[in-house]
Homo-oligomer: A and B are copies of this chain.
């Protein structure tokens, strides 16, 4: 008998019919002899509806009130799912974040979990009642409702699994796992049965929207096995596990990911002296803008070009901040470009195969795709290219790294 945390996303809870389907999945797990703790997102579309209401009443929102507003979405779906289970004679009880409590810091709209009490849940499980926990939400030490950021229900679920020492955490949504590429872009994309936390982190970071990145970090930290499943049927799923639990013969590259979320800023002809990077980037850090890739060209005549990327949504704010610095550092001008994408190859094998980067650059060059920026990690190779080549690049790289063929011999244990 395992203890399983099952998290259901908004697309799995979009209507009363969806709620019934989800309730059947939960009841089935229980009937198989397992103990279940359920975590829910808001019903599909509900968070957007609430955000739109907030936008209508006020251009600038206090984040404390926004959290009080948005957290109702998960409260509604938790209560309704508990009712649905009860109507099927499955005892269930809904919980808010503040009823556990799931204690967070006071950073509204992106709070971090400080402590999670499981006493109430354990009592409920002992009574053979299924707890249905509203995800995404917590409570600060002064009693205010907080939220964990978009996709935060994933993090709620993993945190609960870790605190309860659950055997696994299942993430149910409208996708049945992780693929070697987005099947919508690349019909040859192959389903992956296992992937490591590290690869999933890199994938989430560069744009795969399957999981909130913090939930994967948390799962790795507390060694919670994650399972990606679809609530719409089908047997396929992807396990996210520790590196050593992947199979010996795994492929070098696990997947190709395309991200549209980048914008590029280039400070042109900066006098090349120490402290330039700090002067340009520190106002962005203060404004909480995340700088991703950074390139500084070799100096010519004592001048250089300084280029970096930020999230597309932050471009105009970043532009304003950097333009203020231009005269201070005697640069010639600032140019910006948001007509770019980032294509990445992620795989544990990259660190042991020095030729991988060269193969990637060659494949893109063969198609006449110009690489504007490059960044790499142990297990990731990323290139910024012109937006119109994004889908072509995914298909080319998928082909180059032979991802279509199941070239690793791993099978489910």
**How many copies of this protein are present in the complex?**
2
A41 within 8 A of B: no
Central interface residue in A64, A68, A76, by most chain B CB within 10 Å: A68
Residue interface bits A77-104, CB-to-B below 8 A is 1, else 0:
0111011101100000110101100000
Bound-complex Cα distance A103 to B389 (A): 61
Task: Report whether A99 and B143 are in contact in the complex, using a CB–CB cutoff of 8 Å.
Answer: yes
Bound-complex Cα distance A96 to B69 (A): 11
Residue interface bits A120-164, CB-to-B below 8 A is 1, else 0:
000000000000000000000001110000000000000000000
Bound-complex Cα distance A299 to B190 (A): 88
Among A52-60, A171-179, A320-328, A348-356, the one that faces the other chain is A52-60
A377 within 8 A of B: no
Select one of B50, B54, B68, B76 contacting A78, CB under 8 A.
Answer: B68
Across the interface, name the chain B residue whose C-beta is closest to A84: B57
Task: Report whether B59 and A68 are in contact in the complex, using a CB–CB cutoff of 8 Å.
Answer: no
Chain B residue numbers with a CB within 8 Å of A59 are 87
Across the interface, name the chain B residue whose C-beta is closest to A15: B56
Chain B residue numbers with a CB within 8 Å of A93 are 64-65
Task: Report whether B76 and A58 are in contact in the complex, using a CB–CB cutoff of 8 Å.
Answer: no
Quote the shortest CB–CB distance from A185 to chain B (angstroms).
37
Quote the shortest CB–CB distance from A229 to chain B (angstroms).
23
Task: Report whether B83 and A58 are in contact in the complex, using a CB–CB cutoff of 8 Å.
Answer: yes
Given A16-B53, A76-B50, A86–B58 Cβ distance below 8 Å?
yes
Across the interface, name the chain B residue whose C-beta is closest to A87: B58
Bound-complex Cα distance A68 to B86 (A): 15
Task: Report whether B19 and A57 are in contact in the complex, using a CB–CB cutoff of 8 Å.
Answer: yes
Quote the shortest CB–CB distance from A14 to chain B (angstroms).
12
Select one of B65, B72, B82, B83 contacting A72, CB under 8 A.
Answer: B72
Residues 33-62 (chain A) with a chain B CB within 8 angstroms:
50, 53-54, 56-62
A66 within 8 A of B: yes
A75 within 8 A of B: yes
Task: Report whether B72 and A76 are in contact in the complex, using a CB–CB cutoff of 8 Å.
Answer: yes
Quote the shortest CB–CB distance from A134 to chain B (angstroms).
9
Quote the shortest CB–CB distance from A103 to chain B (angstroms).
14
Task: Report whether B72 and A86 are in contact in the complex, using a CB–CB cutoff of 8 Å.
Answer: no
Chain B residue numbers with a CB within 8 Å of A84 are 57-58
Across the interface, name the chain B residue whose C-beta is closest to A20: B57
Task: Report whether A54 and B72 are in contact in the complex, using a CB–CB cutoff of 8 Å.
Answer: no
Bound-complex Cα distance A63 to B94 (A): 12
Task: Report whether A65 and B86 are in contact in the complex, using a CB–CB cutoff of 8 Å.
Answer: yes
Bound-complex Cα distance A80 to B65 (A): 7
Give 5 A-B pairs besides A54-B83, A72-B76 with Cβ atoms closer than 8 angstroms.
Answer: A16-B53, A19-B57, A64-B93, A66-B79, A68-B94
